[in-house]
Structure 1
């Protein structure tokens, strides 16, 4: 393994349409990289046996006047970020069937591409305000600092891919953006940009934001308009802002004075025990 390989391991970024992709934020992050950089398709996984076509329907397209059926499929890209850096990306609808076989096939392709590190992207609706930075949860190798606070419950294909990749000795990272649930299902460029920024931090890269910053301002303005139309929604968002600001203050306190933060936690626990 070369020194350059040690410094810049081959990375595969994976995002899947559907349950794991609120407002298409995760898959739009991959699409943004494909559109902004020199990208070429290098591998595919056939749709056969993986999809329920009443859920992931084929699309009718017309190229040069001729109709053509486009079937759901997985596409792998090689993306050249700079003359010295490249990454790989996988994008697909979430399969309906045979997840373990699908992940084995995905990891076989990752192995063929000499990938060391797999990064899955996801987005979910959450109770957070659109007026604050988009929260992006990061976990490495499916581990969290405090297991008692880690997520338990239903999972999607990114988590299954992470788990199987870890078992095959790939390094894994999972990035999940939280999107305000009251903003609807339209594309959320703010979450896409947040994922790209956090992904860049993980990989030691700075990605070109393109039009995402301007689109984010438009998205925020539309979200703010919703508050002008509903006093109840405005009060709800104000409550979310207070909670977000309090949590941020607690994190800053913990970073600046861990002993004081530990004491505050102990006092809170003692208070709750006496209720």
Structure 2
């Protein structure tokens, strides 16, 4: 089951747009709902009014579950909702009861966040499996969290396999839609599901987004300098990761080559 929530966890609507894209591109049907009662502050997440067939209708915030056939005989479920305001543990438990009824064994939560990253490089995608906290403790996030993190944690406690997937979006570009980020999440899901997902017109939209961002940067010297700094930082971090992945012997060889170069300067 793939879950995304509108609101604080959904910069540029990239995570929720991933669910909407899947629903639009594949055979899908609504199969479950969680009613809004007790979970929402209507001054924060307001109901909507719409007019259809000549009648006025009030649309209340709610959670919708979809059955998606992404390949012949291969189905995934999707959950989409505004982030609840109240009773998160109850809400997550209700979501997981539905997941259990659907024989779900793996819960994937999606999120998007603004960060210091350049639009000229591949957008960072952070993936965590089963609450794994390996790696440098100094690099682990500490701070406020949203409903995807809580759902991921409770699902892991309840024995589900879990994957948390977050894409970073350049914070200097504002809050409009970001097809590049949605496509990054879809590519991450393709890898996780071990099958290509239909990107539709996202590559074209992503190129347009990138071109608009580049034009914005060209019109602002201070912003251009800032983006150059982010590019340099990104490239240095990427080089460090590549060198670390080479293993001990290769790193030792790099050190020897650097020492030889420095001696040649003496």
Could you say which TM-score interval applies, normalised by the shorter chain? over 0.9
CA 1:263–1:223: 2 relative to 1, 3 Å: same
Equivalent residue for 1:129, pick from 111, 115, 118: 118
1:221-253 deviations in Å (ceiling 9; x for gaps): 111111121100000001100111111111111
CA distance in 2, matches of 1:260, 1:144: 27
Structure 1 position 174 matched with structure 2 position 171: no
Q: Of the candidates 9, 31, 48, which is equivalent to residue 20 of structure 1?
A: 9
Within the candidate set 77, 80, 83, 1:91 is matched to 80
1:1-275 aligned at under 5 Å gives the runs 12-146=1-135, 148=137, 149-258=139-248, 261=251
**Corresponding residue for residue 268 of structure 1:** none
Question: CA 1:103 to 1:180, structure 2 compared with 1: closer, same or farther past 3 Å?
Answer: same
Aligned partners of 1:196 and 1:207 also within 8 Å: yes
Q: Report SS of the residue matched to 2:39.
A: coil
- Bigger CA drift: 79-88 or 112-121? 79-88
**Count of aligned positions:** 254
Cα-Cα RMSD: 1.5
CA contact (8 A) 1:118 1:162 kept: yes
The offset of 1:258, in angstroms, is 3.9
Q: Is the 8 A contact 1:250 1:261 kept in 2?
A: no
CA distance in 2, matches of 1:175, 1:42: 24
1:256 alignment partner, SS class: coil
Q: Distance in 2 between matches of 1:263 and 1:209?
A: 42
Q: Secondary structure at the match of 2:245?
A: helix
Could you tell me how far 1:14 is from its partner in structure 2? 0.2
Instruction: Report if aligned partners of 1:137, 1:176 keep a CA contact under 8 Å in 2.
Output: yes
Q: Secondary structure at the match of 1:125?
A: strand
Change in Cα spacing, 1:80 to 1:261, as seen in structure 2 (3 Å) is same
1:90 is displaced (CA, Å) by: 0.1
TM-score by length of 2: 0.92
Structure 1 residue 218 displacement after superposition: 0.5
Stretches of 4+ moved more than 6 A in 1? 262-265
In structure 2, C-alpha distance between the alignment counterparts of 1:258 and 1:40, rounded to whole Å: 52
Segments of 5+ residues of structure 1 without an aligned counterpart are 1-11, 266-275
